[in-house]
Amino acid sequence: MSNQITRRICLFNLFIIGTALLPISQSSPSHHSFQPKAKAKPLTTQSDFKVRGANLGGWLLIEGWIHPTIFDGIPNDDFLDGTTLQFKSVTTKKYLCANSGGGDFVVASCADNCGWEKFRLWRINENTFQIRVPKDQFLGIDGTQVVAVVVNPTDDENFEIIRGSKDPNRVRIKASNGYYLQAKSENEVTADGPKDSDWGDNDPTVFELTIVSQIQGDFQLQNGWGSKAAQVMQNHYDTFIVESDLKFLSENGINAVRIPVGWWTIYDPNPPFPFVSGTLQALDNAFSWAKKYGLKVILDLHSAPGSQNGVAHSSTRDGSLEWGKTNETIQHTLEVIDFYAARYGKHESLYGFELLNEPLYPYVSLKTVEEYYQLAYNVVRRYNPTVYVIFSTRLSFTKDDVPPLLELSSLANRLENTVLDIHWYSLYYETFTNLTAKEHIEYVKVEREKQMTELLGNNGLARIYIGEWSCGWGAEDYTKEDLQEFAKAQIEAYDRASFGWSFWTLKNVQNNWSLKWLIENGYIDLLNR
């Protein structure tokens, strides 16, 4: 995600200051004005039921690592939306870069990792792209000069990236004027290169390509498939999670499913570009299956308009995080919550309503999250006075000790039937680097147990939910008994959570992340616990 994101947001907290909420856009699928009550009514106390749940990840929201074969066959699948590239001139031996990161000329003078030499793709078709620079402008041409000044690109900012037949890591870039970009010098890049090329080391129109990173989410998948997206996605919705999966869960000690959903589902059957229809019917099916097999449902808004964390599962186009930067994204998200609450709020299987998944710390401010949660809570209460409303804590992708896990407790404790969702994995952070299997198990038994005790002792009225955990770890050369003990230790720790837990995820090509595989192969047994 962009390091340029700032978080100066002017939002409206009706519950606290009593002002009137902005009117809902008439494009909303359900035209409600979100009017908070002056004083919250006492709510019916829920039972002591504890969630032992499974996340239905990778189904209605795509994450390529869960089900990678769904991307197989996309033309030119190296160049999906959000792919970050570097272009090194074979003549200057330096990288193309946007001078000052954007808003100026494009040059070919960046040394490795200068910070300005990385470009993100917006895919128009399999060969044509708009190319975004670090400060979010797009490449274009002014006469023949290559610049990066446009914020809202048109066809004039389209470029073709053509790979060499002998070496696919050598490319030429064709501008909308029909000519090729060429590095005449380190400080002069123009769009007037000849159409013919020998692809040699002295050819200023040739660049060495490096793929820095890629994103595999719904935007990349559906825009990548183009005209075939509807067929591919419908097959996925019909086959990845089916009725027998929920039957399997109910027969193996699972009592709830957490279902990640996206914002565009509310517009089904005509969602906006690039999304296709099918998710709403699939979600309806899931509620029906849950009712049939006695499972509770936690409905989880995993992808908010604009992306709340800039990663694949929030359906970002290019890694940008736009959610909360404007009132419009907050207002749009409230419309999404209103639709889901109106449709499912009275369903007997609905047990929890999670308002947002993993807003990213520090790019989304605590103030923004608190004000949004308050407003969205009010929306849910219009339709259901007792359902649990779940607040996902902000998440850092780089530090495991910030932000404070209970930073939302003050808000949660002012409201009835609220839950704090915390995600605990044994990966990603330095804490877990190079741990052996035994050390991983010991960490859970000591540190997670200690953290849980602290959470339960200090959180006040709000319940604690470990909404995501897995058996993924970095341990090597472990035995079946090691993995069984790792799973058992986590279950024992997370069973203490006052709301319960949900494993991430039901199905995954990586076995340690697949609850179905772990149960079927004897690593997890919930029936004898």
Q: Residue 482 belongs to a domain with what CATH number? A: 3.20.20.80
Per-residue pLDDT tens digits for 294-346: 999 999 999 999 999 999 999 999 999 999 999 999 999 999 999 999 999 99
The SS3 of residue 11 is coil
pLDDT at 10: 30
CATH number of the domain bearing residue 126 = 2.80.10.50
Q: Which domain holds residue 207?
A: 83-213
Burial 123-147 (b: 16+ CB within 10 A, else e): bbeeebbbbbbbbbbbbbbeeeebb
Q: Same structural domain for residues 376 and 264?
A: yes
Of the three residues 195, 213, 231, the one that is the final residue of a domain is 213
Rounded to whole angstroms, the Cα distance separating 270 from 461 reads 41
Q: Same structural domain for residues 362 and 422?
A: yes
Q: Same structural domain for residues 97 and 60?
A: no
Rounded to whole angstroms, the Cα distance separating 373 from 77 reads 38
pLDDT at 458: 86
Burial (CB < 10 A; 0-12, 13-18, 19+), residue 291, is: middle
Rounded to whole angstroms, the Cα distance separating 429 from 431 reads 5
Residue 62 belongs to a domain: yes
Q: Same structural domain for residues 350 and 420?
A: yes
Residue 430 belongs to a domain: yes
Q: Which two tokens stand for residue 45?
A: 């106390």
Q: Are 265 and 271 in contact (CB under 8 A)?
A: yes
pLDDT at 529: 74
Q: Same structural domain for residues 145 and 249?
A: no
Residue 119 belongs to a domain: yes
- Give the chain's domain count: 2
* Helices 218-225 and 229-239: angle between axes, nearest 10 degrees: 130
Q: Same structural domain for residues 206 and 247?
A: no
Q: Same structural domain for residues 421 and 385?
A: yes
pLDDT at 45: 45
Q: Which two tokens stand for residue 478?
A: 């472990």
Low-confidence ranges of the chain (pLDDT < 70): 1-47
Which one, of 505, 425, 475, 472, lies nearest residue 66 by Cα?
A: 505
Q: Which two tokens stand for residue 253?
A: 């000690």
Q: For the chain, give the percent of residues with pLDDT over 90.
A: 88
Q: Same structural domain for residues 197 and 229?
A: no
Q: Which two tokens stand for residue 205?
A: 């129109």
The SS3 of residue 80 is coil
Residue 209 belongs to a domain: yes
Q: Same structural domain for residues 199 and 314?
A: no
Residue 312 belongs to a domain: yes
Which one, of 352, 421, 420, 349, lies nearest residue 389 by Cα?
A: 352
pTM of the model: 0.90
Q: Which two tokens stand for residue 485?
A: 């003990």
Burial 333-366 (b: 16+ CB within 10 A, else e): bbbbbbbbbbbbbebebbbbbbbbbbbbbebbbb
Residue 230 belongs to a domain: yes
Residue 528 belongs to a domain: no
Q: Which two tokens stand for residue 51?
A: 């969630």
Of the three residues 213, 234, 251, the one that is the final residue of a domain is 213
Per-residue pLDDT tens digits for 86-134: 999 999 999 999 999 999 999 999 998 888 999 999 999 999 999 999 9
Q: Same structural domain for residues 198 and 281?
A: no
The SS3 of residue 73 is coil
Rounded to whole angstroms, the Cα distance separating 274 from 264 reads 10
Residue 201: what residue type? D
Burial (CB < 10 A; 0-12, 13-18, 19+), residue 309, is: buried
Q: Same structural domain for residues 169 and 223?
A: no
Burial (CB < 10 A; 0-12, 13-18, 19+), residue 71, is: middle
Rounded to whole angstroms, the Cα distance separating 353 from 361 reads 22
Residue 11 belongs to a domain: no
Q: Same structural domain for residues 314 and 203?
A: no
Of the three residues 213, 237, 264, the one that is the final residue of a domain is 213
Q: For the chain, give the percent of residues with pLDDT over 70.
A: 91
Rounded to whole angstroms, the Cα distance separating 322 from 412 reads 25
